[in-house]
Structure formats: C-alpha cells, structure tokens
Structure 1
Amino acid sequence: MALRSDWLPALAAFEAAARHQNFAHAAEELHLTASAVSHHVRKLEGRLGVALFQRHARGVALTAEGRQLADAASNALADLDGSLKALRGGRGETARVRLTTLHSLSVSWLLPRLPRFAAAFLDIALALETDTALARFDDGGPDLGIRHGPGHWPGLTAHPLMDEELFAVASPALPGIDALREPADLLRLPLIADLARQGWPDWFRAAGLHGPRFEERWRFVDSTGAMHAAAQGLGVALARDRIARPWLADGRLVRLPFPSLPARWSYHIVYPSHRRLRAPAQAFVRWLLDDVAEFGP
C-alpha cells in the first residue's frame, strides 16, 4: 500500500495520541482540538481496517496493532525531524544524547559495552549523568535514563533491559570465609550494605533466617562503594550481578557459596512519553536493546 500525502496529518495525530495515551494532551501539542485528533485516528483506523486504540471510561490504550504502528510512526517522524534540523544547521545539537543512570551501573555494566556503540555510531556523542536521585525529564533534562524498578513510572515509556540477582561476596583474603558453611555463619562477619531498597534483611529471610540479629557495619550510598569496601577486606557485601562482574572477573571479590536472591525489580531504559525521541536517542535505544539481545545482559 503506497503512503499518500493525505495520510500524514492522521499519522502525526495518531503518533502524538499514542505517546500521550490521551487525545486531549495530543491536541495541546499539535494545536488542535481533541475532537480533531479523534477524527484523524478514526480515519486512520477506517483506512487500515483495524482498531488502534481501546477506548474505555478512563481514556485510551493502544491495541497490539496500535503499538506496532506507533513504534514505526515515532521512528519515522523522529528521523524526519532529525534530518530537518540537520539541514537547518542543528546537527551539532541533535548528535548528542544525554543519558542518566546510577554510577555503579554506568561503571560496571554500561561502559564496557560502549566501544561497540562508538564503533557503530561515529556521529553520535553520549553524555553520561550519574546520580542517585531520579532525573526530571523536562525540556532541559536528559533524553534517556536507565532505571532500576518495577517498570511502571508515570509519564515514562519503559523498555525492559535485564533482571538481576543478589548474592554475598567478599575478598578472598577476608579472614573467616573459609569456615563459612551456612547462611547463619555470615552473622559472625562484618556486613556491608548500600541504600538499595532490597538488602540483607531480604536475603536472610530468603535464606530461611527470620529475624536474625545483625549489624550492617559499613553502609554506602552507591553499590560501587560497597564493592570497593568488600574488595578491601572490610566485610561481606550483598552484590548485584551486573555491578559485581568486574570485581569477580579480576579476582578482587569471590562469590560465597550461598543461594542467590532474585531481585524484586529490573533495569529498564526509559524516556518521557510526552516527548518524541530525537533520532540519535532513538538510535541509542535500538542499539542498547539489540546489544543486550546479542551479547547478553
């Protein structure tokens, strides 16, 4: 089916409605009325012969066919927007992607993957912003984020990246680790923690120890600090698989012979639903999802 020019207004209205999941908000962005957006969407549905939205009392939600078309329309319009900006001399602006994530994930998991990104996208620069606070995706904020959580955040589109697990690690030189036989033996050693929402109480409970008396001798804001402390022999840390890999790989830490705990939350790449991603940011999202699929998380 050839794409005729009179389809473009309907596709633009649909793409905005799909991002916002709301006809009124899409209308505001496009300087139309909500009824005009609804008319465009119904016209598109009539031409395609499929329902693009499920309509209910609280609003609208994309159908499977709607999600497929929304992804294609968003990619196409972002590419077109990027090309127009480049022709107007804005290439320097559109070629930089701002990404926010935790320092620990950036250093241990993302940075080792970035040489593949750099080789594939010579014209895209990446600015990494690390903070423990959740970023604000306003007009002056970052393009993308990698967040650890349930996968549902108001106003954000989230693509699952990977799960994780938690397990005990220590320096191979830590006194007493050769005598560890069961989880309760850890209570005799100094414990290291970070400020994550899932920690030692959850791990001990999963290991069958309910209400044990223990003290977290060392506590750090970020998991990187906990890994460094464990590598210095200060105690036993509860490690996250993706964060601990470099320390395990070079032998600074060893995994202790106890069960792991599946994490309650996962990692997701996120971006604001109300704002169409620029072409470079879309390229990074597609690359990261493909890289995880090809090389593993």
Structure 2
Amino acid sequence: MALRADLLPALAAFESAARHQNFAHAAEELHLTASAVSHHVRRLESRLGVVLFQRHARGVSLTAQGRQLADAAGSAMADMESVVRTLRVTRDERDRVHVTTLHSLTYTWLQPRLPQFAAQYPDVRLTVDTEVALTRFDDGGPDLGIRHGAGHWPGLTAHHLMDDYLYPVASPSLAGLEKIRSPADIARLPLVTDLARQGWLDWFRAADVHAISVEERFRFSDSTAALNAAVHRLGAALARDKLATPYLAAGVLQRLPGPALKARWGYYVVYPSHKRLKPAARAFVDWLLALPQDAAPV
C-alpha cells in the first residue's frame, strides 16, 4: 500500500502519542486538542486496518502492530529532524560572516556603524572576533578581517579602507592642562602611550619640537585602554583619529595643540586570495568599502 501524503499528519500525531503513551501530552506537543489527536490515530487505524493502541481507563498502550509502526515512525522522524537541523545550520553558515579585527577599532569605529549595515542587510549575521593573536584564514577560520598595517600580507587580498592620523588628546579636567599653549608644553604632562610603532617622538618631530626628554608614564597594549587612561586623567594620550572621534564628540577628551600626523599604517579589509568570498561576506566587504571617508583632521 502506497503511503498517501494526506496520512502524514496522522502519522505525526501517532508518533507523538506513541512516545508519550498519552493523547493529551501529544496534543500539547503538537498544539492540537486531545480529540484531534485521537481522530488522527483512528483515521490511521482505519486506513491500515489494524489497532494501534489499546484504550483503557488510565490511558493508552501500544499494540504489537502499534509498537512496530512506532519504531519505524520514530526513526523516520528522527532522520528528518536531523536533516532539518543540518539545513538550518547550512543556512545560518551561508548568511553568517565571521570578521576578525582589532578591539579598539570595533569599539570606537565599527560598532557605531553596524546599525546601518543591519538595516541594509537584515539577513546577514555577523560574528566579530577581536582576539589579540593574528588570525589565520584557514578552513574554519574567519571570512575576512580588518587589519592595521602597511597593506601587504602574504596570501591575502587587501583593500585600502581608510588612513589614520595621530594627535594628542587629554581630559578637559587633567591637572596642568590650562598651561598648555604649544606642542612643546605637552612634554611636561604625564604621557600615555600604546604599543603602536609610531609614538610621541614621531609626533614631536612632526610638531617641530626637538631636544626634549619624552617620558611615557603609562603604557597600554590596547589603544582603547590608552584613551580610557586619558579619560581618567592619567595624562595626555597620542590618539589615532579613527579611535578618538567618539571620545571627542562626547566631550570626555579634547585635542591638544599641534598637527595631525598622518600614520604610516592604514586600515585594510583583507581576505584569503585563494578563496572566493561567499555572497554575505562580499556584501559586507562592499558595504565597508563604500562607507564615506572622513575628512583628514588638520
């Protein structure tokens, strides 16, 4: 006897009732009434010409034929659930973009812009990894990254995203700030730095300040931590413009006298040269590269 498609709801009701040995519990699982489950089971029994359940005052129990069908139906349902779960995972992976980038850039530059991306691409899901270690783009690794550097990495395609600039900032309430009138005066303040390759000496040279002693009082491995140190009045920090902008806008930091030094390194969108980006990742790359460029600070 060929299994007709109109019997599939009855089989689903039977399989649930067989697992629970209870029509009411099956009805709750399937969002039906107990009478609807009973109707499905009786219809299936009528179609097959066998009794699947023994009805008694305390509930129901499977007959030998019912047990045989329950085993087959349970196995079939489990197989289908496994396939459906796999399809859902496949869909999620297709629409998920794994991005690796810097914590400082994520916190101050990327996250404020992500609502725009989410509105434009509501089906794309993002995983943003800000681990300190340089990520490898191998199988199972990220789809793409935003890196700070010279723009050349073996095996990676790199698209220039934006340049950056360095200038000094400090809390408006930093002690001694009222005496700062020129770049040379900044050297008298406690200085905060991060591990960037360009530092205070480079900036002072660009500001035409020479023959001074530069003492870096506080050093942090993360640029956001250095900016927060300045917010907490530990000293003046040499800030990267892309990271300092939200602090300046909030008024918790202010720019100090002196030039904006163009950084030797910029920001690049990178991904493996040998791998073709999936559509969701390509959409994210295109969106990043289409973002308007901020004017260079003066």
Structure 1 length as normaliser, TM-score? 0.67
The separation in 2 between residues aligned to 1:296 and 1:288, in whole angstroms, is: 17
Summarize the Cα distance change of 1:90–1:246 in structure 2 as closer, same or farther, 3 Å threshold. same
Partner of 2:212: 212
Kindly provide the CA deviation profile for residues 98-156 of structure 1, in whole angstroms up to 9, marking residues without a partner as x. Answer: 10111010010000100011011111100010033321111121111001111111111
**Matches for 1:69-80 after TM superposition, within 5 Å:** none
The separation in 2 between residues aligned to 1:296 and 1:258, in whole angstroms, is: 17
The separation in 1 between residues aligned to 2:154 and 2:204, in whole angstroms, is: 33
Partner of 2:95: 95
Summarize the Cα distance change of 1:89–1:212 in structure 2 as closer, same or farther, 3 Å threshold. closer
Partner of 2:185: 185
Ranges in structure 1 where 5+ consecutive residues have no aligned partner: 1-85
Percent identity of the aligned residues?
61
Partner of 1:259: 259
Contact 1:161-1:292 within 8 A present in 2 as well? no
Partner of 2:290: 290
Partner of 2:134: 134
The separation in 1 between residues aligned to 2:136 and 2:212, in whole angstroms, is: 39
Partner of 2:152: 152
The separation in 2 between residues aligned to 1:222 and 1:88, in whole angstroms, is: 38
Kindly provide the CA deviation profile for residues 222-244 of structure 1, in whole angstroms up to 9, marking residues without a partner as x. Answer: 11001110011110000010100
SS of the residue 1:258 aligns to: coil
Partner of 2:162: 162
Partner of 1:45: none
Contact 2:201-2:214 within 8 A present in 1 as well? no
Partner of 1:277: 277
Partner of 1:8: none
Opposite residue 94 of structure 1, the aligned amino acid is: R
Contact 2:247-2:253 within 8 A present in 1 as well? yes
Bigger radius of gyration among the two: 2
**Matches for 1:108-123 after TM superposition, within 5 Å:** 108-123=108-123
The separation in 1 between residues aligned to 2:130 and 2:201, in whole angstroms, is: 27
The separation in 2 between residues aligned to 1:211 and 1:192, in whole angstroms, is: 20
Partner of 1:226: 226
The separation in 2 between residues aligned to 1:216 and 1:144, in whole angstroms, is: 35
Structure 2 length as normaliser, TM-score? 0.67
Q: Structure 1 segments of 4 or more deviating over 6 A?
A: 86-89
Greater RCO (Cα-Cα under 8 Å, separation 6 or more): 1
**Matches for 1:226-245 after TM superposition, within 5 Å:** 226-245=226-245
How far off its partner does 1:182 sit?
Answer: 2.0
Contact 1:183-1:258 within 8 A present in 2 as well? yes
SS of the residue 1:292 aligns to: coil
